[in-house]
Amino acid sequence: MQSFKEEFLDFAIQQQVLLFGEFKTKAGRMSPYFFNAGLFDDGVSLKKLGEFYASAIDASGLAFDALFGPAYKGIPLAASVAIAYAAGVSTGARNIPFSYNRKEAKDHGEGGSIVGAKLSGRVLIVDDVISAGTSVRESVELIRAAGATPCGVAIALDRMERGQGDLSAVQEVSRDYGIPVIGIVNLDDLARHLDGKPDWRDTLASIQAYRGRYGVRV
């Protein structure tokens, strides 16, 4: 497994962004883990998070011109990725424009629902996770309406979990919009990370059982 994945998982556990136990999902399932990117809630953690996103994006080889953060969680995420690239933490410093949307369009001042750089070229959407795919769908529509091209989605964690059918929300996004979804890590990465660590044996068993019951094929 790539080193940035191991480092990200250690960091998420340390920050208590990734918790283990019993948690009820929106689908009514009892999950053995819970991931809340909103708890990357200070300058140091957000800086490091942006660097992990940049590492994952670079590892994917995806070409892009701009970043877009869906309101609300995607706003600081896209900003942190833009800052990481400007600092040159990946493959050399790049000054990448970013923008985000308002939940309600503004009817005064500059108006509209988009804040930040003008949407143009190949736009990468940055979010925390994909659950139902609603924010991705709205983002794709906004980007296309502006005459730009949505080229992918970057997320922190791919749960690799079935939705209503046989596909996960991530797989549905890729299928419906013809764009890749880049995760810093996925559930299989988490299982590999915990494997061989005696203190995490029971947690790993619970995650593997959950993956077997609700997981998708890859």
For every residue of 159-184, DSSP letters joined together read --BB-SSSSBHHHHHHHHH---EEEE
Instruction: Please identify which of the residues 47, 48, 108, 118 carries the catalytic annotation.
Output: 108
Apex 51 CA angle, 208 and 154, nearest 5: 60
Q: How far apart are CA 32 and CA 34, in angstroms?
A: 7
CB neighbours of 199 closer than 8 A, spacing ≥ 6?
Answer: none
Q: Measured in Å, how far apart are the chain's first and last C-alpha atoms?
A: 17
Q: How many helices (H) and strands (E) does the chain have?
A: 7, 8
Residues linked to residue 149 through DSSP beta bridges, in sequence order? 122
Helix (H) or strand (E) run with residue 137 in it: helix 134-145
Count of residues making up the chain: 218
Per-residue tokens: 133 = 């795919």
24 is catalytic: no
Contact 130, 177 (CB under 8 A): no
Residue that has been written with the tokens 């139902």 in this structure: 132
Instruction: Please identify which of the residues 106, 118, 193, 197 carries the catalytic annotation.
Output: 106
Q: Which residues are catalytic?
A: 106, 108
